[in-house]
Chains A and B, each alone.
Chain A
């Protein structure tokens, strides 16, 4: 009975999602990017001289070449912008998913432990969370990547290390509310184990806001990673990543007229990618939170 109810709720939510124009737009954009990521080798070709995630050099001259038939998005720093934008989509998904899921997982674990046990454990964990929140996200990520050295893996580690706190706080708040609910008290009275209560009863009822937050933050992680690359402490030069292409434009800051394509194309890709996640997240929040609807 309960199972069937949950299913019909889900169907209702899906219906709400697909009748919301902004949500549909977000979903279409997201599917478009997934398509681009999957068919990257067919769209932009592969790097015949090595790793596909290295943008192949097409010229040894450092001056930018405007878009032409052979290089539709132009060439900057000797690298083909089109190749970088297309393969950069894969990088964006990989980075967003790995960082988003790991950070959320850590946050959920920390938050649930803090909320469920309360007392001194809660106090310690929450003060640690406060401490991590006391260093601005971009600055903290910059310090850590500078110290660990360049490379996409180090960027991801830095983003995870300083990205878990908001989900920890969110899940803790939700669990504190849920802990007082009748069904949890009932499970406790029946003598169920603490861990089981958290996993079986509390998390399923408190996880939705976390999912919404994850969707909304996905774009943020990708932007921050790109910002690190732009500042010169992110991915290695030549890596197929949107921020890396933009960092080439930095050398042409006073002559942007000759390098506009290296900002415009990866910029558009980045905006649409983030917008897609935000639209979907926005719609999900409206669906899960009836107060925002009326």
Chain B
């Protein structure tokens, strides 16, 4: 157990170096000319004839790749992630101010995604191959096949353009002015929580209202995946001898399902739910773009359109960091929960 955790921790730095190496190789392949563009803030700087060569030398863009990589990694560790054209501030600052919005969305989404998926999966397994099971599976498969931007745009059309119930954005129009007011205290930078801290119940409810459509979009896509795992795990448990014993000795079916079967069936689901949180965090690019929520996802999408390389790289690094650390936590907690998995 300890050996397994230590092994995982030892691999971690290699993975992180590998990720930065891949990402750096991609920027490096742009060549010195294009890279220079991302350093220059105004066209004035290039006016004098030899300015380009001089600046390329100055920023060390003509050096061999390992040298440049080392310098870039060093800057990265110092917190110098470059300048963001999209945010008009340093990349690290831009990311720090946007990350809470993404986190907020992911945290709220986990609850409906996981709970409903488990409930559907168990229901589906109990009614295996009956109409209800087939129905749930077909609906879930449709959800699995539905691209998130199509569903998101569709919901926006229905609830905004048609019904005028809730629009894109994170809060209604008047409230964002209150929130950028100097009197507004930012603690977590998550809208709903800060609204409560500031004692504005109306903003809290408004923030929640704006979360509903994005969460509905995300949920529908994830249900199919989690449901399938819950269902097959439940089916496997239901075939076990101890279930037959329980039924044979006359335990009511409800107790068999709730106490004997479901608890055991949920072990693999717990792991996958952990992965879901990571997936939610890293899967917000589209949802945030469609619903105009200014989190990391929309940030990277804007940066990609403006060819703002350092912002893209910074956001990609954050996404990867979340993914790597999240996976580590999930793997370790899985080993703790299920004694059978003390791998190798």
Contact = CB atoms under 8 A, between A and B. Distances in A.
Interface of A: 22, 127-128, 130-132, 134-136, 138-140, 142-147, 219, 223, 226-227, 230-233, 246, 249, 253-257, 260, 263-264, 266-267, 270-271, 274-275, 278-279, 282, 291-292, 294
Contacts of A144: 26
B319 A139 contact: yes
Contacts of B236: 291
Interface string B265-301: 0000000000000000011011001101000000011
A294 B239 CA distance: 10
A138 B285 contact: yes
Nearest to A257: B161
Contacts of B162: 257
Contacts of A130: 11, 15, 18
B153 A246 contact: yes
A223 B147 contact: yes
B300 A227 contact: no
Contact of B11 (A127, A219, A226, A274): A127
Q: Which of A219, A226, A232, A255 gathers the greatest number of chain B CB atoms within 10 Å?
A: A232
28 contacts: A22-B138, A130-B11, A130-B15, A134-B19, A138-B286, A142-B301, A142-B312, A142-B316, A143-B26, A143-B313, A143-B316, A146-B304, A146-B312, A147-B29, A147-B30, A147-B309, A227-B148, A227-B285, A230-B286, A246-B150, A249-B153, A253-B168, A254-B167, A256-B153, A257-B162, A275-B142, A278-B144, A294-B239
Contact of B26 (A136, A147, A278): A147
Interface string B220-232: 0000000000001
Q: Which of B150, B232, B301 gathers the greatest number of chain A CB atoms within 10 Å?
A: B150
A232 B320 contact: no
B145 interface: yes
B156 interface: yes
Q: Which of A132, A231, A232 gathers the greatest number of chain B CB atoms within 10 Å?
A: A231
A223 B239 CA distance: 37
Given A134-B323, A270-B147, A147 B27 contact: yes
Contacts of B138: 22
B190 interface: no
A131 B305 contact: no
Contact of A226 (B142, B147, B283, B323): B147
A232 B304 contact: yes
Contacts of B30: 147
A253 B316 CA distance: 26
A267 B154 contact: yes
Kindly list the 3 A-B residue pairs having the minimum CB-CB distance in the complex, ordered from nearest. Answer: A131-B18, A136-B282, A274-B145
A231 B320 contact: no
B38 to A, nearest CB: 11
A256 B147 contact: no
Given A22-B138, A253-B168, A263-B153, A271 B26 contact: no
A156 to B, nearest CB: 16
A135 B150 contact: no
A136 B323 contact: yes
A271 to B, nearest CB: 5
A278 B154 contact: no
B319 A231 contact: no
Interface in B303-338: 304-305, 307, 309, 312-313, 315-316, 319-320, 323-324, 327
B286 A227 contact: yes
Nearest to A230: B149
A274 B235 CA distance: 27
Given A147-B26, A147-B29, 16 more contacts: A127-B15, A130-B11, A135-B22, A135-B316, A135-B320, A136-B319, A136-B320, A138-B286, A139-B320, A142-B301, A142-B312, A144-B26, A147-B30, A255-B161, A256-B153, A271-B145
A291 B232 CA distance: 9
Contact of A139 (B160, B167, B315): B315
Interface in B1-42: 11, 14-15, 18-19, 22-23, 26-27, 29-30
Q: Which of A127, A146, A219, A270 gathers the greatest number of chain B CB atoms within 10 Å?
A: A146
Contacts of A253: 153, 156, 168, 290, 292
Interface string B106-142: 0000000000000000000000000000000010011
Given A142-B304, A278-B141, A278-B145, A135 B323 contact: yes
Nearest to A273: B145
B240 to A, nearest CB: 13
B251 interface: no
A227 B312 contact: no
Nearest to A216: B144
